[in-house]
Chains A and B, each alone.
Chain A
Amino acid sequence: MSTTYPCATCGSQSATSDYCDVCGAAIAATGAPAPQADPGAPPTPAPPTPTPAGGAIQAPAPGATCYFCGAPREANDVFCEVCGLDFVSGRMPAPANPTPSPMPPAASAGGAAPAGAGASGTTVMSSVPAEWTAVVGADRAFFDSNVTAGVVTFPDAISPRDVALTGDEVTIGRRSESKGYFPDIDLASPVDDPAVSRRHAILQRQADGSYAVLDVGSTNGTWLNDEDDPLAHGVLRALHDGDRLLLGAFTCITIRHAPPAPTP
């Protein structure tokens, strides 16, 4: 008969593989142990052999989509091919070249974080000087055009900060210590933009060393320069020197084809 997935929250057998079709709890997060994939490895298809009934997580129903970015998902996929979400652990992909985190408070707070804490994407610093920089600041006009007045106040005191773009993938979001998620460009501090999604977007390095942006399913969208519509979720857009990304309630990230300014 049809495949079912045990729900650890309510104990029912769900016909859907992402969330329990009775109580709505996530199956991947709470289900039985699943085959472990090397987080650093490129996406490899899982063996197509179905696990015996009552066993581990099984292939999703045909027509299933990534429960993070909504991209179509093949039955054998372990990772989402668009946003890279690990369907088994529910985590975003590891940076290509993990090195110790430059954010000690975040890393130490993750004491309870699983071994995959690195996989949640701390800033990757490499010895090669960065050629691209993201300047993180706030844009008053963008803030004024959003419907957040009264809920969020504009951070008048914010001073733009430079983030060197070095890894193959730079995550943009808001850190969650409880979930062990630390994006490279953290918009929860020093100034918190509450309208940015935890996992908002990623910058992906292209073959020529430049970066492209990918909105990984943010709640409130990401705008490129003065375009009318927000970026379509899951679609890569190339970035050029001087391009501006507008997101959250007020955040403006300017992409510069230059190394970061030296810190005073």
Chain B
Amino acid sequence: MSFSASVYQNEFLPDGATEVNAVVTVTAEDAQSGPSGAEKAVVLIVDTSGSMDVPGTKIRAARKAAATAIRVLPDGVLFALVAGTEHGQLVYPDEGGLVAASDATRHAGAAAANDLRAGGGTAMSTWLDRTTELFQPYPDAIRLAYLLTDGINQGETRADLDSGIARAAGVFQCDTRGVGADWEVEELRHIASGLLGEVDIIKQPEQMDDDFQAFLERALGKSVADVRLRMWTPKGSTVRFVRQVAPTVEDITGKAAPVNALTNDYPTGAWSGDESRDYHVCVDVVPAAVGDERLAARVSLMVGDDAVSQGLVRAVWTDDEALSTRINSQVAHYTGQAELAEAIQEGLQARKDGDLDTATVKLGRAVQLATRSGNEGTVKLLRKVVEVEDADTGTVRVRRQVDALDEMELDTRSTRTVRVQKTGPTTQEGANQ
């Protein structure tokens, strides 16, 4: 597997300016095909609290989805099934740790999944703790969990949950899924963000099967575990933020682990051989004289102790305003995408709080940003919540009747971004005479 990095920025700053922005695109490419890379381990965490039985279609769909997922595990993949109530219970294998998939273990695992019974409370930190124990003996494997719930974390405080997340961080990555409309987007996003995973909604129980399968496909496609983004910045500088901006917006500034006084590592989890992620970095540096150049950041991708790729973010001070006032199109685009996610989340919150004026302004701005950047997936979701009068100016009316599922779908997917639309001439009619 090889990684490459490209840096997009306007390196020119006006005299005395300190803020340097750049978008770093990291692309992984797998030369070989077929199974490769590290050992893989997956844990399925299924909520079996009492509410999963109301209606019973939820627990039945969860049983079927988990059993199907286990049946298709390739030989040798380590796995376990955890049932979540007020404590995290190891359902399969019934004792010990992860087991390797084989005809016998797949059969027994699927049988255990079909036997899941709903009943009890919800304390998610105990689910995470059980999973942490399972993954701990396999520090070199690719370690991914899938947490499925239908409700709110009622059985414990947010502080309990946070300490569970803290114990799990670095031990495994976790995607979170909410079924139906009775769960809290913010809560599952909080868990997924802390564990380098993604949150999504499963609107109908019968969609569980496909989502489980898609998760497994992604998990099994990963080939390198524990990739870190390493960023050096010069003495005297301050990192304003480090943000993943594609495929989703995720602020990772707070995940910095110091390597030395000027260098931090940011965990990015496991990578597959065909993925590409964009990062927006913003650094304040000590200004140099007009005409001088400084390296503002050195961004490397680390696998183990090896830097597998690097990008250089530069700063050149100039008194030529034509140069320094330009905003790089990638930086502008992703600044807009981050604002889009924020506008949606704030708009939906305002709507929930009954503040329709704020909701209208924020969601209107979201429609405008999503339309301009060509983020059609998000425009479509926004239209279910607002009536668009004029997308260009962001003039909208908040709908009076909104399906709770549509609103939650917009919220969970608000962080999905699109890449910069092509700036070639084919979008314009008559460009090629």
Residues of chain A whose beta carbon lies under 8 Å from any beta carbon of chain B: 10, 16, 18-26, 29, 63, 65, 67, 70, 139, 141-142, 144-148, 151-152, 178, 192, 194-195, 219-221, 223, 225-229, 233, 246
Contact = CB atoms under 8 A, between A and B. Distances in A.
A219 B8 contact: yes
B285 A246 contact: no
A227 B422 CA distance: 9
B428 A19 contact: no
Nearest to A25: B294
Given A146-B329, A220-B328, A228-B422, A22 B262 contact: yes
Contacts of B315: 24
Contact of B424 (A18, A19, A26, A145): A145
Contact of A67 (B262, B312, B426, B429): B312
Interface of B: 5-11, 232, 234-235, 262, 285, 288, 291-296, 298, 306-307, 310-312, 315, 322-323, 325-329, 332-333, 422-432
A192 B11 CA distance: 18
Of A21, A67, A152, the most chain B CB neighbours within 10 A belong to A21
A221 B329 CA distance: 10
A246 B332 CA distance: 20
Contacts of A23: 234-235, 294
A141 B430 contact: yes
Contacts of A219: 8-11, 328
A228 B285 contact: no
A146 B307 contact: no
Given A22-B262, A152-B326, 16 more contacts: A10-B235, A18-B295, A19-B295, A24-B294, A63-B306, A144-B428, A145-B428, A178-B291, A194-B322, A219-B328, A220-B328, A223-B423, A228-B422, A228-B426, A246-B424, A246-B425
B65 to A, nearest CB: 37
Contact of A192 (B292, B306, B322, B431): B322
A83 B430 CA distance: 35
Contact of A22 (B6, B11, B235, B429): B235
**Shortest beta-carbon contacts, A-B, top 9:** A141-B428, A19-B295, A24-B234, A24-B295, A141-B431, A24-B294, A194-B322, A226-B426, A141-B425
A139 B431 contact: yes
B424 A226 contact: yes
Given A25-B293, A233-B6, A147 B329 contact: yes
A26 B8 CA distance: 19
Given A19-B312, A22-B262, A145 B425 contact: yes
A24 B332 contact: no
B33 to A, nearest CB: 22
Contacts of A221: 423
A259 to B, nearest CB: 23
Nearest to A147: B329
Residue in A16, A18, A24, A26 whose Cβ sees the most chain B Cβ within 10 Å: A24
Contacts of B422: 145, 223, 228-229
A18 B312 contact: yes
Given A25-B293, A65-B310, A219-B9, A145 B427 contact: yes
Contacts, number: 107
Contacts of A178: 291
B323 A26 contact: no
B423 A145 contact: yes
A64 to B, nearest CB: 9
Contacts of B326: 148, 151-152, 194-195
Contacts of A67: 312
Nearest to B372: A147
Nearest to B421: A145
A29 B294 CA distance: 11
Contacts of A63: 306-307, 310
Contacts of A65: 310
A144 B429 CA distance: 11
A64 B167 CA distance: 36
A178 B11 CA distance: 17
Contacts of B332: 147
Given A26-B295, A219-B10, A226 B432 contact: yes
Nearest to A178: B291
A155 B255 CA distance: 47
A24 B296 contact: yes
A10 B294 CA distance: 12
A194 B432 CA distance: 24
A98 B425 CA distance: 36
Contacts of B11: 219
A144 B426 CA distance: 11
A26 B232 CA distance: 15
Contacts of B310: 63, 65
Nearest to B296: A24
A147 B331 CA distance: 11
Given A139-B431, A226-B431, A70 B329 contact: no
Contact of B423 (A18, A24, A70, A142): A142
A142 B234 contact: no
Contacts of A22: 234-235, 262
Contacts of B322: 152, 192, 194
7 contacts: A18-B295, A24-B234, A70-B7, A145-B423, A147-B333, A148-B326, A226-B426
Nearest to A139: B425
B294 A228 contact: no
B336 to A, nearest CB: 10
A4 B244 CA distance: 33
Given A23-B294, A25-B293, A220-B328, A142 B425 contact: yes
Given A23-B235, A219-B9, A151 B428 contact: no
Nearest to B288: A25
